Amino acid sequence: MNEDRSRGPDVRIPPPLLFAMPLLAGFLVQRFVATHIVNGVDPVRTLRLVGWAEIVIGLVLIYWGIGTFKWMRTPVFPIYPARVLVERGPYKFTRNPMYLGFSVLYLGLCLAANAFWPLIFLPAEIALLYLCAIRLEEAYLTREFGEAYREYCARVRRWI
């Protein structure tokens, strides 16, 4: 790494917290204004099954992304500078597999709990991830890796 490189993307709020804040706010509202997505035994059972599948998919994406970063020996936490531009593993399909995983996990938790209010806060989770992490990371990666990162962005979508 060159000495003139920046110190990282300067993400100040840990991304898991950006995921947890709207989720917890939604469940807090749900506790006081209980509103369900569906009613009835069979619809609830189906919704919970779909929710658990989403939870598993979200966790797989998160851990696959983390594992790929560790395998490539680059920091997982966006407060540290990247050592390499990761384009392998889940990063072949999405530029943000961990953040996508957080969003899928969030959706799965809402569905498994049959909780309407946290679902309403899902756009806030996505907006927070974008504004407080993704935007900063993309600007940083463009500065660090230049044309290589721009080419990667042209090939791979931000989400899916």
pLDDT (tens place) for every residue of the chain, 160 residues total: 444 556 789 899 999 999 999 999 999 999 999 999 999 999 999 999 999 999 999 999 999 999 999 999 999 999 899 999 999 999 999 999 999 999 999 999 999 999 999 999 999 999 999 999 999 999 999 999 999 999 999 999 998 8
Q: What is the pTM of this model?
A: 0.92
Task: Specify whether the CB–CB gap between 76 and 69 falls below 8 A.
Answer: yes
Written as six digits, the tokens of 133 are 């992490």
From the list 61, 135, 157, the residue with the least C-alpha distance to 104 is 61
Give the Cβ contact number of residue 92 at 10 Å. Answer: 13
Written as six digits, the tokens of 82 are 């990247």
- In whole angstroms, what is the distance from residue 127 CA to residue 52 CA? 24
- For residue 66, give the 3-state DSSP assignment: helix
